Structures are given as structure tokens and as C-alpha cells.
Structure 1
Amino acid sequence: MAPRHSAWHDSTLDDVRPYTITGGRTRPKYELELTSLLSTGTASGLADIGPEAEALRLLCAGAPRSVAELAGLRSQLVQVTKILICDLLDLGVLVMAVPTSIAPYEDTHLLEAVVAGLRRLV
């Protein structure tokens, strides 16, 4: 279902069956976790993507989003979302967002409290 504010919105798309959206495909091409983060790529040829894929691209334009978040925001089955994401990855419309660096965590008191709490559970 396309967002109501999208230029792509067409009420006839609200009832489109998932296998129609994915072109009959049932498995994504790539291994994607629910927590995989995606952001917009640098592809310029967007004429080949449909309204469902365009909506995913627009959602990733502001900040990286997870697969689960995209599926939830679109009210779509996760499997359908993953298949569309794979298409967008192939076109370069979306890219996997990977953190460039992870800052070291220096608050050892909190980590020690977590470990102590976990030990009490056992």
C-alpha cells in the first residue's frame, strides 16, 4: 500500500496480492536480516521501479531503515519487502548501510551491572 502522500498512490493498489507485487517470486535473492539497514544509493535510472519499490526508496531517503521497519511502515509482508529490497539493491537504488566505525564503550560500571544481573538470573 503506497503512502497517502505519495504521487504513486492509487487506491487500486491497496488490494494487490503479494505474488503480483513480487512478480510471482517467493524468495529474496540475498540473505537479509530483519535488522539489516538500508539507505538510498546513487542510481539515477528510477524509471524501472514500480510504486511499491518507489515507496521503499522514499522511506530510506532520510535515514537508514531496517527491513522490519520498512515492512511495518508499508504494512507489507516481510518476505514481499525483502524481495522488493533485493530488486532495489540490484539496481543500486538502495544500498546496505554499514556503520563506518563503532566507538568503544567506556562505561564499565553499567556493563558490570548487566553481567551481575545476568548471573543472578541463572
Structure 2
Amino acid sequence: MAAGGGWSSSTLGDVRPYLITAGRTRPKHTLHLSSTLIARAATRPLYTTAEHEALLLYCSGSAQAVSELSARLGQPVQAIKVLAGDLLDAGALMLANPDGPTGPDVPLLEALLEGLRNDP
């Protein structure tokens, strides 16, 4: 398939998601679009693909959201979650927000709504 005509227009070329995940479709870890990952020193040797290396590169220095990594690599979010899971298992990545995304501050929103209702 010609460059630019496939799944991706990234520097990784036209790589179908099932190839980069070795056919896996379900991640081992629960990751959300807003889950942020950051690279750390690996605790054991890694045998990575170009896609794994790209994830590590983008996560070096600052935490990156799963959605951002998907956009940068030009791959579906599900594929990024599978690859990120490999790197989490290897100790090369860690969750920057392990408790997950925080919910809305309900009391603050209620106070804001009340203030808007009382504003003439």
C-alpha cells in the first residue's frame, strides 16, 4: 500500500494495527484516553519494536496521555493501549496518574450553578 494511503501517515509508515500488536486487541492494563504515561529506566532488558521505541521516546521527559500518543503515532487508541501495556509490564513506562482521571468537583459545580441562578 502506498505511503499515506493506509492506516497511518506517521513516520512509522503504513503499519496495520494488528501487525504492531501481534494480533492482540485487548490491553492487559486498564488505560483511559486521559491516562498519562511517563518513561522510566527499564528494570529488565527490552526486546521492543519500532512502535515501542516511539512510545518510549514520546514519553521521555514528560507524561503523555494515551490519546496524545495515539495521535502522534497515527494508530488507533486500542493499539496504543496494547503496546503501552507491554512497556508497563517491562517496567519501561509507568502511570503518571495511577488513580486515573479525577471526577468533577460536584460541590464546586453546584455552587457555580447556584451563583449563576442568583445573578440578575
1:71-86 correspondence runs (5 A): 71-86=70-85
The residue type paired with residue 43 of structure 1 is: A
Q: Give, in whole Å, the separation in 2 of the partners of 1:44 and 1:2.
A: 33
Does the 8 A contact of 1:2 with 1:52 survive in 2?
A: no
User: What is the CA RMSD across the aligned residues, in angstroms?
Assistant: 2.8
Matched residue, 1:102: none
Deviation at 1:117, TM superposition (A): 6.5
Deviation at 1:118, TM superposition (A): 6.8
- In structure 2, relative to structure 1, the CA distance for the partners of 1:77 and 1:118 (3 Å cut) is farther
Deviation at 1:97, TM superposition (A): 0.6
Deviation at 1:45, TM superposition (A): 4.9
Q: Give, in whole Å, the separation in 2 of the partners of 1:36 and 1:118.
A: 32
Matched residue, 1:7: none
Gaps of 5+ in 2: 1-7, 99-107
Does the 8 A contact of 2:56 with 2:93 survive in 1?
A: yes
Q: Report which stretch shifted further, 76-85 or 44-53.
A: 44-53
Q: Give, in whole Å, the separation in 1 of the partners of 2:38 and 2:109.
A: 31
Gaps of 5+ in 1: 5-12, 100-109
What is the percent sequence identity of the aligned residues? 48
- In structure 2, relative to structure 1, the CA distance for the partners of 1:117 and 1:77 (3 Å cut) is farther
Residues 53-97 of structure 1: CA distance to partner in whole angstroms, max 9, x if unpaired?
100100010210110011011111000000000000001110001
Q: Give, in whole Å, the separation in 2 of the partners of 1:50 and 1:17.
A: 14
1:72-111 correspondence runs (5 A): 72-98=71-97
Q: Which secondary structure state, in structure 1, belongs to the residue aligned with residue 19 of structure 2?
A: helix
- Residue 82 of structure 2 corresponds to residue 116 of structure 1: no
Q: Give, in whole Å, the separation in 1 of the partners of 2:74 and 2:35.
A: 18
Matched residue, 2:35: 36
